[in-house]
Amino acid sequence: MKAMRFHEFGSSEVLRYEDVDRPAPGTGQVLVRVAATSFNPVDDHIRAGVLAEMIPITLPYVPGIDLAGTVAELGADVRGLEVGDRVVAMLPLDSAGGAAEYVLAPAESLAPAPRTTELVDAAALPLTGLAAWQTAFELAELKPGQTVLVNGAGGAVGGLVVQLAVDAGAHVTAVDAPQHADRLRDYGADQVVGPLDLTAGPAAVGGPFQVVVNHVRVSPEELAQLTNYVADGGVAASTAGSIPEDPARGVRSANLWVRSDGAQLAELVAKVDAGRLRLHVAARRPMAELAALHEDAGAGRLTGKTVVLAP
Ligand SMILES: NC(=O)c1ccc[n+]([C@@H]2O[C@H](COP(=O)([O-])OP(=O)(O)OC[C@H]3O[C@@H](n4cnc5c(N)ncnc54)[C@H](OP(=O)(O)O)[C@@H]3O)[C@@H](O)[C@H]2O)c1
Q: Are 148 and 66 in the same domain? A: no
Contact status, residue 6 vs residue 291, Cβ threshold 8 Å:
no
**Residue 273: inside a domain, yes or no?**
no
Confidence band (pLDDT; 50, 70, 90) for 201? very high
pLDDT of residue 97: 97
- Confirm whether 214 is domain-assigned: yes
Mean pLDDT, residues 185-214? 97
Q: Are residues 193 and 109 in the same domain?
A: no
42 lines ligand 1 (CB under 6 A): yes
What is the position in ligand 1's atom list of the atom closest to the CA of 134? 3
Of 52-61, 81-90, 227-236, 285-294, where does mean pLDDT reach its minimum?
Answer: 52-61
Chain segment 21-41, per-residue pLDDT in tens: 999 999 999 999 999 999 999
Distance 31 CA to ligand 1 centre (A): 31
The predicted structure's pLDDT at residue 228: 98
pLDDT grade for 265, boundaries at 50, 70 and 90: very high
- Do residue 186 and residue 104 come from a single domain? no
Q: Are residues 101 and 140 in the same domain?
A: no
Enclosing domain of residue 187: 128-255
How far is residue 19 from each of residues 13, 100, 229, measured CA to CA in Å? 18, 10, 51
CATH number at residue 160: 3.40.50.720
What is the model's pLDDT at position 203?
A: 97
Please tell me the predicted confidence (pLDDT) of residue 62. 98
pLDDT in the model for residue 247: 98
For the chain, the domain total comes to: 2
229 CA distance to ligand 1 centroid (A)?
19
Q: Which residues pair with 192 in a beta bridge?
A: 174
